[in-house]
Amino acid sequence: MGGWAIAVHGGAGVDPNLPRERQEEAKKLLTRCLQIGISALRSNLPAIDVVELVVRELETDPLFNSGRGSALTENGTVEMEASIMDGPKRRCGAVSGLTTVKNPVSLARLVMEKSPHSYLAFSGAEEFARQQGVELVDNDYFITEENVGMLKLAKEANSILFDYRIPAAGLESCSVGAAANSPMVMNGLPISVYAPETVGCVAVDSEGRCAAATSTGGLMNKKTGRIGDSPLIGSGTYAGDLCGISCTGEGEAIIRGTLARDVAAVMEYKGLGLQEAVDFVVKERLDEGRAGLIAVSKDGEVACGFNTNGMFRGFATEDGFMEVGIWE
């Protein structure tokens, strides 16, 4: 056993012209979340409790795209999704299409622990939330003035915006992972800006138990009913005996590559170490997609990989290592 470890992310794909103030706000939030996770791990909470606790904090703060501050659909509403997975016995829970649940990741855990299912969505998930007595709020709680403005920009451009917090003046010049004159595409269709801000946390506790959780509001100006990788076990989230993984980025590419599970698979079947497995999957499984991920191993290692300009991320291990970063 290598001791406990934790990693957290706030999304892969960052505007290269992101204002310094915004960068510092992101680093402070990631640091705060790491401190919450560190305290929980030092108190011997199991990894599954830790990842839920940290992601709840990220959902409550409007800085990143999850919970309060989620991206808006084409109809100006919020539809959130999340998943959580406990490495021991590979238990999991996931939810999609949430409009009133204050903390989607906690409902995902209730799906795992209090239902016979692994995944509930839309009206069924909302009804389950009411049955379980979780905290519900009006959809307006999740909507910020900033997001309303960015949805207007997206509609005027007739496109999906990934990072709805990029200043309007930076929309034309922003190009993440591709040249400015080579717009990215998703399933063959062009997109304006690539910089999603899904949130996630992975942890391994002092007993070597891994867990992972991911939560998001999805894409700005997305079709109602669109489901991304974040709630899909094996794509956006995975935890097993060897490791825990949370992904972020172009959801459609992550889904096609079953990115999270593939990290565990190449560790198991190819005998790769954690960072080797992460690097292999980012290089070989994304095709032309852009994404990133964080990971921990049962031995207390942390790792990340991304093929975008940057990824909001933070790490800490029991031996005292701690790091928060954005760029490569």
User: Quick count: other Cβ atoms within 10 Å of Cβ 73?
Assistant: 21
DSSP assignment letter at 187? T
Which tokens belong to 196? Answer: 């999603």
- Beta partners for 323? 315
Q: Is 198 a catalytic residue?
A: yes
Distance in angstroms (rounded) separating the CA atoms of residues 256 and 188: 14
Instruction: Give the C-alpha separation, 46 to 89, whole Å.
Output: 14
Q: Tell me the H-state helices in the chain.
A: 20-42, 47-60, 104-114, 122-132, 145-157, 251-257, 259-270, 274-284
| Catalytic residue selected from 99, 198, 214, 237 | 198
Q: Which of 325, 297, 303, 299 is nearest to 247 (CA)?
A: 303
Phi, then psi, of 294 in degrees rounded to 5:
-120, 155
In degrees rounded to 5, what are phi and psi of residue 51? -65, -35
Quick one: tokens of 219? 């894409």
Angle subtended by helix axes 47-60 and 104-114, to nearest 10: 150
Closest by CA position to 217, among listed 87, 44, 99, 56: 99
- Rg of the chain, C-alpha, whole Å: 18
Please give the positions annotated as active site. 198
